[in-house]
């Protein structure tokens, strides 16, 4: 079973992905981590973010182990990591280098402890359009930029990252613009994706209104595959 969940930053993709992964015994693949790893490595190694060749060579050498090491850095989830990820993710050579890693994961999906999973929930920007165009179920999750900025600000506060609502909103709008206007695999819903706008909902309401509808679809898919 392959489920893809795409949408802009802080739209609630992680929340629903984690819920579905747990409920159906699926591995969770946060594909943004790959781009964050390359972006942060560029910053830490003092490469110019405009240097596509450096970014593509780091992407080509990236392993899951290296990605998990970089994920411990305080800037991995900060605005710095997010902006760097968004910039390097616009390079076609970087996307090409990371595509196989993402697609191969579905051939033999595993949990972090190495145990086999029943499938994968992919979370990203192009997972339903490019990474897994034949996914069993595709969702495109969105919310207003203001709601997403409030959520991101709350996440940052929990992590002790000091910033302001205005900075977070400006950062999200800039990333939305770059992610959706880039020529290579731009952020957009797959034609067969289910569109869900959770503006004005808290995480609990989002899950409680969306899951019953998805459960029915997933159950039908599971019955069909048996
Ligand atoms: O989901 P995130 O905020 O961690 O993603 C960071 C950046 O990575 C995002 O601005 C765009 C890029 N990205 C992408 O281009 N394709 C994906 N499948 C996932 C993320």
HEC-encoded secondary structure of 4-26: EEECCCCCCHHHHHHHHHHHHCC
Structural domain boundaries enclosing 212: 2-220
Assign residue 25 the CATH number of its domain.
3.40.50.300
Q: How far apart are CA 82 and CA 61, in angstroms?
A: 20
Answer whether residue 63 is part of any domain. yes
Answer whether residue 116 is part of any domain. yes
pLDDT one-digit tens code per residue, 10-33: 999 999 999 999 999 999 999 999
Least-confidence region, from 65-74, 151-160, 187-196: 151-160
Q: What distance in angstroms lies between residue 31's CA and the mean position of ligand 1's atoms? A: 7
Q: What distance in angstroms lies between residue 62's CA and the mean position of ligand 1's atoms? A: 16
Answer whether residue 188 is part of any domain. yes
pTM: 0.94
Confidence class of residue 226 from pLDDT cuts 50, 70 and 90? low
Confidence class of residue 222 from pLDDT cuts 50, 70 and 90? confident
Residue nearest to atom 2 of ligand 1 (CA): 32
Answer whether residue 226 is part of any domain. no
Q: How far apart are CA 37 and CA 97, in angstroms?
A: 13
Task: Tally the domains of the chain.
Answer: 1
Q: Is the dihedral of CA 62, 66, 70, 71 positive or negative?
A: positive
Question: What's the distance, Cα to Cα, between the start and end of the chain in Å?
Answer: 11
Q: Is the CB of 17 under 6 A from ligand 1?
A: no
Q: Pick from 16, 35, 176 the residue to mutate for probing ligand 1's pocket: most ligand atoms within 8 Å of its CB.
A: 35
Answer whether residue 212 is part of any domain. yes
């Amino acid at each position: 079973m392959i489920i893809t969940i795409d949408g802009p930053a802080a739209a609630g993709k992680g929340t629903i992905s984690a819920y579905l992964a747990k409920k159906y015994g699926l591995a969770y693949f946060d594909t943004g981590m790959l781009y964050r790893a390359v972006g942060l490595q560029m910053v830490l190694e003092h490469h110019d973010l405009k240097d596509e060749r450096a970014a593509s060579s780091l992407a080509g050498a990236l392993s899951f182990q290296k990605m998990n090491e970089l994920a411990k850095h305080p800037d991995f989830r900060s605005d710095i990591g997010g902006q760097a990820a968004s910039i390097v993710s616009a390079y076609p050579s970087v996307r090409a280098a990371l595509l196989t890693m993402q697609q191969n994961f579905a051939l033999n999906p595993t949990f972090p402890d190495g145990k086999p999973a029943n499938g994968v929930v992919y979370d990203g920007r192009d997972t339903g359009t490019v990474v897994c165009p034949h996914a069993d179920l595709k969702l495109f999750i969105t919310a207003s930029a203001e709601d997403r900025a409030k959520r991101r600000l709350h996440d940052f506060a929990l992590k002790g990252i000091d910033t302001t609502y205005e900075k977070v909103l400006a950062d999200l709008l800039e990333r939305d613009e770059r992610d959706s206007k880039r020529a290579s695999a731009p952020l957009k819903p797959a034609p067969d994706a289910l569109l869900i706008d959770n503006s004005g909902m808290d995480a609990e309401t989002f899950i409680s209104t969306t899951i019953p509808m998805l459960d029915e679809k997933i159950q039908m898919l599971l019955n069909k595959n048996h």
